[in-house]
Amino acid sequence: MSLFFVNLPFVSALRKLPVVPLPNLLLAKFRPLSDFYLTGTLAWFIAVGLTALILFPNLSNAAIWFLLGTTLIGLSGFIVPQIVFHLLVVRAQSQMADFVHRALRLWDRNPSSLKDLNEALKAHSMWVFDRADITSLLIPELVAAVGLILKSGVVGQHP
């Protein structure tokens, strides 16, 4: 839990730092941090799933609230830093656009330089994480929920 709660001041302070106007550079630098958060959250979800399977013999209200609460805590450990990274990348993209706008005012009427400026503005992504990251986070949580349902005997009971 300390990963999630002690880390919040760091992420909050990171949000306030100035950024360089190079969004692709930020994406490359934030990727290892994103991988760290992904690994921490994945370990969290595996631990939550195992705990739920061991502690709750039935799918009771307590089990549902436990899974919901721990899922929200776990997702916040990944999503909050991703939102901060996204805001920093957007800020860098905006600064780059301002730079290009100023350069256009001084444009030397060379079409190749206009193309180069336009290419500089193209960001491949505005988010650090990939779809595979989200999938790898949700699989352990879904396995825990399905395991609880199967363990409680809800599936397979006939009237």
| Predicted local confidence at residue 22, as pLDDT | 80
Percent of the chain whose predicted confidence (pLDDT) is above 90: 0
Look at 51 and 159; give whichever has higher pLDDT. 51
CB-based contact 36:109 (threshold 8 Å): no
Amino acid type, 60: S
How many of the other CB atoms lie within 10 Å of CB of 52?
21
How many of the other CB atoms lie within 10 Å of CB of 79?
16
Amino acid type, 134: I
Averaged pLDDT for residues 2-16: 79
Token representation of residue 65: 């609230």
Taking the CA atoms of residue 123, residue 36, residue 91 and residue 5 in that order, the dihedral angle to the nearest 10 degrees is: 160
Averaged pLDDT for residues 111-130: 66
Q: Per mean pLDDT, which range of 16-20, 108-112, 131-135 is the poorest?
A: 108-112
| Predicted local confidence at residue 158, as pLDDT | 46
The tokens 């061991």 sit on which residue? 54
- Encode pLDDT of 29-48 as tens digits: 888 888 888 888 888 888 88
